[in-house]
Chain A
Amino acid sequence: MILRSIELENFGLYAGRQRLDLMPTRDRPVVLFGGRNGAGKTTLLEAVRLALYGRRALGARVGQSEYDEHLRNRVHVDANGRASAVASVGLEFDYAEAGIVQHYRVSRRWIVRGAKVVETLTLEKDGAPVDAVPREEWHGFLQELIPPGVSQLFFFDGEKIAEIARDDPDEGLAEAVRGLLGIELVGRLRTDIGLFLARRNRKDDGGSAERLQAVVRDRVALQKRIGDLAEHVAELKTRHTSLERAANNVRLRFTAEGGDAADRRAATEAERNEVRNQIAQREAELRDLANGLLPFAAAPRLLRRFATALSQTGETGRREEAEALRMRLLGWRMAGEPAREASWKDAHWQDLDAFLAAEAAAVTGTAGHLAGLDAAERRRLAAKVADARDAVPARVSVLVRDLDALQRRIRPLEAELVRAAGKGATVVLDELLLSEKDVGAAEAELKARSEELKQLEYQKLTLEREEKRLVNAQNEVDAGEQRAAIATRVGRVLQQYEERLLHHKLAQLRTEFVERFNHLARKGGFVADVRIDPTTFDATLIDRSGTEIRKSSLSAGEKQIYAIAMLWALARTSGRALPMIIDTPLARLDSEHRATIVERYFAEASHQVIVLSTDTEVDDELLERLSPNVSHSYRLDYDPETRSTTATPGYFGQEDQRALQQA
């Protein structure tokens, strides 16, 4: 990884927008920043960390409100005490992934609105927003690129060094080493496996095993019973089939022997049906007649009387005519006009008068209610009556005679049919009945046994299901045990791996450290070995004679050398090619050590070394020693009037140098 540039906007002491080039030129890895105390050197280091880690830059457990507060405080405040509304830090860097160098640009910009701070993260890869990773994951993505724990070893300030050099076991270092060496991950894995093992339920399953045994025993017994029964059922089936076949034969014989009667029967049936048809026809006619005048025919005497009455009533005119005739006769007798030809005696007159009077009177008696009918109605009724008396009985009598004859014909036919039906029901019938009875019995038996078989099979199915369930449960237990065994083995392996990894890394670290320390220390070969406690990571120096060098016996400068060597060794052991940012590392060193650090550490620590220094640390003399490795430099100048820092290319005293060169 290589840092290309850093961009600051209203961040801390930096007013406005400033972009600083960090890209070293070829073979000159050092980028030098010069600045007096309070000029903003540490702010630069902070900006790098902030751009990469955001909230995480402040520590592992920092709340959002705390972070917001921090951001608000890091906004530049101008000479008039006004805070800017917008601030940002940005970083451009190249990062190699799978052998391909990618150009990244990360920028954090935050807007302060009263108590609220709104932060926007921009992450670009080769000029386009990163889209392979969702926006919410960008923080994580950046932390994957350069883990914060690792960055502590590369981006550090003098304070850090002082801490490492302390005599007592160092918590922070231990953590850094663990994280750095990848041991932490293995440890977490081991814990997870332990949890898995602890969580595993170790229930005693003796009961279920017993139950399984019983189920299997029952099932086997049932299986045997089912086999026997199935055989029995099969036998019954065969018997049933043969009985049925026999019964069928008997039935066929029965039909064959009754065949003659059957033939005759058909003819008889046909004849009977014909007669029945004729009967039906005549009966239908009778019914028709019943709808007509037949009912009246059922009262023949009344019809006769009624007809008489009707006919008498029909002569109503006669009575009037007779009376009128009598009146005219009487009138003629009185008047004698027209003249009488014969001589009429009183007796003649009286006879004639009596006849006419009787004639008129005779009709009066029978007139009754029928007199109310008009002549047409009377004629209609009379016609009906006549029909009812003559035509209807005539037709009915024909029908009745026919029907009687037909009934006489049909009776023997039906008798014959009954006889035909009875024929053949002789010995064969008995046989048929017997065989059918056998078939029925066999069928009943078969049905009962089949039912029993079905029940047994159902029982078996139930048992099988339970067996399966129990076996599954047991398998589950087995599988669980297997998994537990594997987990235990994995745990053991992981433990071994962790130990060996630690051992390996520590050995590497030891070698690196001794080499680095002796490389830097004025007393060459002062330290022969270092012992690092694998649990506390407490380092103990050992001299040539094999005696322990107590850290407290080291001078302050030696301690610093020790710390730098340790950091350097750790960085190298981590195997990551990251830039170094070193903030004020030379404070406590004597001139000789400073020269070594400048020449051997700054120049070799990494492919990119950003050194933040005061003018007293890297002074003119050291600058001269360092300059072959310096790519370019900046000077940070704080202007008390504007209360802001500006970075300008160059270093302390370079004007002089330039002047010197010019001269």
Chain B
Amino acid sequence: MRYNRLRISEDANSRLRSIRQRTGVTPNLLIRVAIMMSLEEGPIRVPAPDEKGPEFNAYTLTGDHTALIGAMLRHVEETEGESQPLGDDEMVARLRAHIHRGVGTLSVRAKSIVDLGRLAVCA
């Protein structure tokens, strides 16, 4: 998966802002957690509702972990899902969808920074 910039949904953006206030963790890191939480739930079929949120560039968003995240996304979507290779555009669209879904879940479960830790321990 290759991408330079990515716009998240407006809904995700507003939720991220409130989570950030509660946890003190920057949105890009929260998005990473959200992606993983969504991927944990399995392949996604519903695309993100819009791209009205702020734009992140690839390095800010996934940084050193771009390859790993890409691989895991592909693993979930291809290997465990449709089993057919996806184009880059489709991959990015799926990633956006996962962000949207993950942020939704995160906003429910992460009330503080400790909760973020708990997500990593108890899940």
**A residues with CB within 8 A of B:** 283, 286-287, 289-291, 293-302, 305-306, 309, 366, 368-370, 373, 377, 380-381, 384-385, 392-393, 396-397, 399-400, 403-404, 407
**B residues with CB within 8 A of A:** 24-25, 29-30, 32-33, 35-37, 39-40, 65, 67-68, 71-72, 74-76, 78-80, 83, 85, 113-114, 116-121, 123
Besides A286-B114, A289-B120, A299-B40, 8 other A-B contacts (C-beta < 8 A): A290-B32, A296-B36, A296-B65, A296-B68, A298-B37, A302-B40, A368-B75, A385-B68
B25/A290 in contact, CB under 8 A: yes
For A294, give its contact among B39, B75, B116 (CB under 8 Å). B116
- Name A's interface SS: helix
B24/A396 in contact, CB under 8 A: no
A368 and B68 in contact (CB under 8 A), knowing A295-B29, A299-B39, A392-B120?
no
Residues of B within 8 A of A286 (CB): 113-114, 116-117
Cα distance, A384 to B36, chains bound together (Å): 14
A403/B117 in contact, CB under 8 A: yes
For A297, give its contact among B35, B72, B80, B120 (CB under 8 Å). B120
Specify the chain B residue showing the minimal Cβ separation from A296.
B36
B117/A299 in contact, CB under 8 A: no
For B78, give its contact among A283, A368, A396 (CB under 8 Å). A368
Cα distance, A283 to B123, chains bound together (Å): 19
Cα distance, A377 to B68, chains bound together (Å): 10
B121/A295 in contact, CB under 8 A: no
A403/B114 in contact, CB under 8 A: yes
Nearest 7 Cβ contacts at the A-B interface: A297-B120, A299-B40, A295-B32, A299-B36, A400-B117, A295-B33, A397-B121
B113/A396 in contact, CB under 8 A: no
Cα distance, A384 to B123, chains bound together (Å): 18
Cα distance, A289 to B83, chains bound together (Å): 33
Residues of B within 8 A of A301 (CB): 40, 123
Cα distance, A329 to B49, chains bound together (Å): 58
A294/B120 in contact, CB under 8 A: yes
Question: Can you spell out 14 A-B residue pairs with CB atoms less than 8 angstroms apart?
Answer: A283-B114, A286-B113, A286-B116, A287-B24, A295-B33, A297-B36, A299-B123, A302-B75, A306-B72, A368-B79, A370-B79, A397-B121, A400-B118, A404-B114
Specify the chain A residue showing the minimal Cβ separation from B109.
A298
A295/B79 in contact, CB under 8 A: no
Residues of A within 8 A of B33 (CB): 290, 294-295, 298
Cα distance, A393 to B67, chains bound together (Å): 21
B76/A302 in contact, CB under 8 A: yes
Cα distance, A290 to B74, chains bound together (Å): 23
Residues of A within 8 A of B65 (CB): 293, 295-296, 384
B118/A295 in contact, CB under 8 A: no
Expressed in whole angstroms, the minimum distance between the Cβ of B70 and any Cβ of chain A is 9
A290 and B40 in contact (CB under 8 A), knowing A283-B24, A369-B75?
no
Cα distance, A385 to B121, chains bound together (Å): 15
Chain B CB count within 10 A is highest, among A297, A302, A366, for: A302
A393/B75 in contact, CB under 8 A: no
A400 and B114 in contact (CB under 8 A), knowing A298-B33, A298-B123?
yes
Cα distance, A400 to B120, chains bound together (Å): 10
B114/A300 in contact, CB under 8 A: no
A287/B74 in contact, CB under 8 A: no
A298/B119 in contact, CB under 8 A: yes
Residues of B within 8 A of A283 (CB): 24, 113-114
For A377, give its contact among B25, B36, B67, B85 (CB under 8 Å). B67
A291 and B120 in contact (CB under 8 A), knowing A305-B80, A369-B78?
no
B40/A400 in contact, CB under 8 A: no
A295 and B68 in contact (CB under 8 A), knowing A369-B75, A397-B121, A404-B114?
no
